[in-house]
Amino acid sequence: MEIFLQACVNGLLIGGFYSLMGMGQNIIFGVMKIINFCHGEMLMIGMYLTFVFNSYFGLDPYLSIPLVVVIMFALGALIQHTLITPSLGTKSFTNLLFLTVGLGMLFQNLALVIFSPNYRTITTSYSSKTLSFGPVTMSLPKMISFIGLIIVTVALFWFLKYTPTGKKIRAVSQNPIGAEVVGINTKRIYIITYGLGCALAGIAGALLTLFYMVYPMVGASFSFKALIVVVVGGFGSIQGAFFAGIFLGLLETLSSLIVGPTYRDLTVFVTFIVILVVRQVIKLRRR
Amino acid sequence: MKVSKLTPYKIRKRIAIALLLVLLIALPLMLSNKPYIMNVFILIFYTSTMSMAWNLLGGMTGQNSLGHAAYMGLGAYVAALFVTKAGMNPWLSMLLSMLIVGGLAGVIFYPCFLLKGPYFTLVSIAFGETIRQFVINWDFAGKATGISLPFGAESFAEFRFMGKAPYYYIGLAMIIGVYLVMRKISRSKFGFALRTIREDEDVASAIGIKPMRYKVYALIVSSMIAAMVGSFYAYYNRYIDPDLMLQSYSVEFVLPAIVGGAAFVEGPLVGGAILITLSEFLRNEFGAILPGINLILYAVVLLVVIRFRPVGLLGWFSTSKLKNFLETKVLKKSEADEEI
């Protein structure tokens, strides 16, 4: 029972990261109808930025979050402006798909060239402290990151719901032509959206750095998990992504507890395929 | 039936192709003491063949699969298992592997064709990863350590050679054979049906083309070719492991088609020749100091082509002045040829 509770808590935590990644991915998909295959690499860049700030400038990982956000937003805006917006005009789904795949490859291998494939970690004065709640123990960094995840998620919901920019983003994702007709600069919204998506991945990376190893390929698994979250939660639905992320995290930790760690990914992928196909079959039956 | 007349232009074009072929066939004689360059050629052959296999499903039918490395890996595994566990003839194993992988892909993947666009791409990744995870957990196939094929005396029947030249010729035969099949498909009713599905599925079903059926046919042909390449890879390397099915390899198989021009049958050939030559050159020159430099180049070439030449290099070439120059000045194409 204790192991089960502990697994649930860990699942919630990792699920929170999947949610955050998935929500970033989902905003991008909602607005531009493209799958961002380099989302995991954005997380990787966020992690490396945090690592560099910590080991070369002595900045605390949590205090470096604002800097990471600014850099990631700028990077995302630059990519959107120079590469994605011009390619959106060709209306070719294949090209847009492989554009982001190419970006992912570029970032991954740049990280490999700059930082070498070594695994790196950050240690701070508080990284080995633990807190216990009844039978469940949790390290302090994990606790702080969890609170950070909740704050970011709430802030994101608030931003999309109440601020003018958030409303514009929702308008463009519902109907891009209509949005343009009422005077919204869609190109600017594209840039803001992609920057926001990258910044969210960067935050996830910064929050993850303290208890996860940093290496160039770290993004690959998160990238695909974020996509699973988006698909299961429904394209364009932010709430759906949130719950799907939590569900995925729980499924992962509980399946590695019940069927064994080597079968963890197998369980996740099979569940994913089954959910996708069954949902499509139901959709076709209803028609 | 229309009989096309052999004009001087067409004859010259055929002579040019024949010269290229003779050059490719004669190459191992010149490079017999340079195994590294031979290896690059073999790499070009099987990567381009994989890319053509992807192109049938991705470029021609518009179903962007990102799990093709899994079919190739599965093909390699089935063939290697037949050879090592059942002691079967490698050529027969290759054939069986093609049939088994083609059949399996058709049956298991059938429901996934209900999904369209981005959903299909995602399910193809998940499918590939599932196969990889399955093989990693499969005791009989050696789990994550993989399978080593037995070494031994050189023999054609056992698909085992000392030098690189025999593999080179088999690879060359493979790429030419697959190219001819692809060209045939592309010009047949089947090819037109696939392209109709790519452009508009509703139109296709309205004029009597069943999208599901044709997509599955395309997948079966595509995965059979992938299994053939996989078997070739297993016999050539004499060692396989589940990393062969990593999704990053699927991407590497797609890039030649995208860079060369996915709408063309020749696209993967052009893209493969250019990309792999460049990438192997870089890996050879800088690989020791800067690992990953060749993949950076891959990515940059891909981004530049998509950004500035979205139709691929061949798409750009077919409307460029260079082609016009080659045809009118070098091959002396005349106005009269156009009309025939």
* Cβ-defined contact of B291 to A266 (cutoff 8 Å): no
Cβ of residue A27 closer than 8 Å to a chain B Cβ: no
For residue B141, being part of any structural domain is answered with yes
**What percent of chain B clears pLDDT 70, i.e. is strictly above it?**
93
Number of Cβ within a 10 Å radius of residue B328: 13
- A interface mutation test: which of B122, B134, B297, B304 has the most A CBs within 10 A? B122
Is residue A128's pLDDT more than 80? no
For residue B26, being part of any structural domain is answered with no
Rounded to a whole number, what is the distance in Å from the CA of A80 to chain B's nearest CA?
12
Tell me the torsion sign for CA atoms A49, A50, A56, A58.
positive
Q: Which domains does chain A have, with CATH numbers?
A: 2-286 (1.10.3470)
Say which of B115, B258, B298 has its CB closest to residue A276.
B115
For residue B291, being part of any structural domain is answered with no
Contact by Cβ (8 Å): A180, A186: yes
For residue B237, being part of any structural domain is answered with yes
Q: Which residues of A touch B137 (CB under 8 A)?
A: 262-263, 266
- Which tokens sit at B121? 């791409």
- Which tokens sit at A247? 């569900």
Per the structure, the complete domain to which residue B69 belongs is given by 36-246
For residue B177, being part of any structural domain is answered with yes
Q: Tell me, what's the pLDDT at B340?
A: 44
For residue B329, being part of any structural domain is answered with no
Domain count across chain B: 1
- A interface mutation test: which of B120, B306, B308 has the most A CBs within 10 A? B306
Residue in B closest to A269 by C-alpha: B126
Residue-wise pLDDT for A206-257, tens only, equals 888 888 888 888 888 788 888 888 888 877 677 888 888 888 888 888 888 8
Is residue B153's pLDDT more than 80? no
Report the range of poorest mean pLDDT among A49-53, B79-83, B244-248. Answer: B244-248
Cβ of residue A109 closer than 8 Å to a chain B Cβ: yes
Residue-wise pLDDT for B203-248, tens only, equals 888 888 888 888 888 889 999 999 999 999 988 888 888 888 777 7
For residue B193, being part of any structural domain is answered with yes
Cβ of residue A85 closer than 8 Å to a chain B Cβ: no
Sorting pLDDT into bands at 50, 70 and 90, what band is B64?
A: confident
For residue B89, being part of any structural domain is answered with yes
Output the CA–CA distances (angstroms, integers) from residue B271 to B19, B167, B255, in the order listed.
Answer: 21, 22, 8
* Cβ-defined contact of A227 to B122 (cutoff 8 Å): yes
Query: Cα-Cα-Cα-Cα dihedral of B99, B100, B103, B106, to 10°?
Result: -110
